[in-house]
Amino acid sequence: MHELSLMMGIVDQLRKSAAENDIKKISKVMLVVGDMTMAVPDALQLAFESFKEEELFQNAVLEIRKEPVRGECRDCHHNFGVEDFAFVCPNCSSPNVRIASGRELYIDYYEGD
């Protein structure tokens, strides 16, 4: 379950940012997770729950926004949703595709006081 190690890194970033901004309690965290990360939202939620004993996160809510895998053809510049990791342009059949989204894993924002 790599979600626990991912969440440990996320929580470390939140702790650091909260300390720098004199925030004592975090109430909400918005996390963006791309489908290519293979991170399971339910497992991320469960991993986040393990930090709830810490005063900083006691009443915090984790929200997750999933980002689908999208490609952009480098030949015809067509943007498209990637299905089943088939990185071939549906417009011109070119395999010359750039991954435009789906690899994200970041804290979009957090709220607290």
Question: pLDDT by residue for the chain (113 residues), tens digit each?
Answer: 589 999 999 999 999 999 999 999 999 999 999 999 999 999 999 999 999 999 999 999 999 999 999 999 999 999 999 999 899 999 999 999 999 999 999 999 999 99
CATH class name, domain 2-112: alpha beta
Q: Identify the pLDDT of residue 1.
A: 57
Task: Note the Cα 58 to chain centre separation in Å.
Answer: 21
pLDDT at position 36? 94
Give residue limits of the domains in the chain: 2-112
Q: Starting at the edge strand that comes first in sequence, how are the strands of the sheet with 61-67 ordered?
A: 61-67, 26-34, 105-112
Residue 91: alpha-carbon gap to chain centroid: 29
Q: pLDDT digit string (tens) for 20-32?
A: 999 999 999 999 9
CA distance between the termini of the chain: 32
